[in-house]
Amino acid sequence: MLGILLNWLVGLLVFGYAGWSIYRYYKRSKKGKCAGCSVEKSCSSGCKPKS
């Protein structure tokens, strides 16, 4: 019983973490460098390309 539970737990941990990390990496890559910046919302200078 304990063995099955442990199996489920480890499986969930491994696959859950794997899925989450891929999702996050994809989101971050898409947003680029500004995503990590704390003035991202009010920032109107650096992130917007000059046309």
Partner 1 sequence: MNTVALTGNPNTGKTTLFNLLTGSYEYVGNWPGVTVEKKVGRLRGMQGLLVDLPGIYSLTPLSKDEGVATGYLLEENPDLLLNIVDASQLERNLYLTLQLIEYGKPMVVSLNMVDVAKSRGYEIDAKKLADKLQLPVLPIVARTGNGCEKVREAIKHGGVTPSDLQINYGDIIEQAIDKLSFALSFQTDLTMPKRWLALQFLEGNEVVTTFLEKRIDIGLLDQIYQQTVEQCRKTGLVKNHSSLQPYMRQIRSKVISEIIASCLTQKHRVEKTWTDRIDNIVTHRLWGLPIFLLFMFLAFKLTFEWVGVPLSDLLDGFLGGPFTDWLRVGMESISLSSFLQAAILDGAVAGVGGVLVFVPQIFVLFLIISFIEDSGYMARVAMVMDKIMEMIGLNGKSFIPMIIGFGCNVPGVMAARSIEQPKERLLTIILTPLMSCSARLPIYSLFVGTFFAQNQAIIVLSIYVLGIVLSLILAKLFSIFLLRHESSVFFIELPPYRMPQGRTLIRSTWEKGKGFIRKAGTFIFGGSIVIWFLSYAGPGGLDVSMNDSFLAMIGGVIAPLFTPLGFGSWEAGAALLTGFLAKEVVVSTMNIIYAAPDALSLQSLLESQFTALGAYSFMVFVLLYVPCLATVAVIRKETGSAKWTWFSVVYGLAIAYLVSFLIYEGGKLLGFA
Q: Is 48 helix (H, G, I), strand (E, B) or coil?
A: coil
Give min distance, CB of 13 to partner 1, in A.
10
Strand ranges in 1-51 using DSSP code E only, listed in sequence order: none
Rounded Cα–Cα distance for residues 6 and 38 (Å): 40
Could you say which residues in the range 8-37 bind partner 1, by CB under 8 A? Answer: 10-11, 14-15, 17-22, 24-26, 28-34, 37
Report the distance separating Cα 22 and Cα 36, nearest Å. Answer: 17
- Would you count residue 45 as binding partner 1 (CB under 8 A)? yes
Return residues touching partner 1 (CB under 8 A). Answer: 3, 6-7, 10-11, 14-15, 17-22, 24-26, 28-34, 37-39, 42-51
